[in-house]
Amino acid sequence: MTKQIVIAALTFGAIILGTSNVQAQNTTATTTVNITLNDVISIDAGSTAIGNTVDFNYVTAADYNSDQTITKANSLKVTSTKNFNVKVKAGGANFINGTNFIPVNVLTIKAATASGTMGGTKSAVVLSATDQTLVSNAPLGSALTLNLDYMIPASKSSSSDILGKPAGTYTQTVTYTATAL
């Protein structure tokens, strides 16, 4: 019987010691996670300025004697990891139709009344072939939108800049550039 008590005591001791060994093992693990960032600035897909057109139609006398404004929602959608500027310029000095032309300065581009989610200081730009600042110091952000108004004022459409030109479609490209600060 003493043997049985000793065997039971040893067995009990082994169980306790074995259990404490299990409790001494690692119960946590540590992993390092790296996040590598690069500066990004992009005029994103979904910007209506990419591959879109703005069409002004002068059909009646009233068209020539009034301001014409075309609003384009989501003209620009910009993602930037830093504050940025947006500049605009024409691809040349004139809208062209064969050998006929209309100076690009007949067109004003500005932020629409409901300008979108892009912050910064917005300016109305009389179009030229030189870069001009449309938005300055816009805060960083993702998919920030800018709705634009394209306007030809009556003072231009009722002047010799447009009046007296041969009928037809006059075309020029407009380029927008977003630049990180």
- Give residues with Cβ within 8 angstroms of 117, minimum separation 6: 141, 143, 144, 145
Residue 51 located in a structural domain: yes
Of 96 and 17, more confident: 96
Token pair recorded at residue 58: 């002068």
| Per-residue model confidence as pLDDT tens digits over 12-59 | 555 555 554 455 677 888 899 999 989 999 999 989 999 999 999 999
Residue 150 located in a structural domain: yes
Q: How many domains does the chain have?
A: 1
Residue 28 located in a structural domain: no
3-state secondary structure of 95: strand
3-state secondary structure of 132: strand
What's the whole-number mean pLDDT along residues 56-63? 95
Residue 21 located in a structural domain: no
pLDDT at 8: 54
Residue 107 located in a structural domain: yes
What's 47's domain CATH number? 2.60.40
Residue 19 located in a structural domain: no
What's the whole-number mean pLDDT along residues 147-159? 96
Domain range for 88 is 41-180
Residue 139 located in a structural domain: yes
Question: Which residues pair with residue 45 across a beta bridge?
Answer: none
| Per-residue model confidence as pLDDT tens digits over 101-145 | 999 999 999 999 999 999 999 999 999 999 999 999 999 999 999
How many angstroms separate the CA atoms of 128 and 88, rounded? 9
Residue 83 located in a structural domain: yes
The secondary element (H helix, E strand) that includes residue 76 is strand 68-80
pLDDT at 1: 54
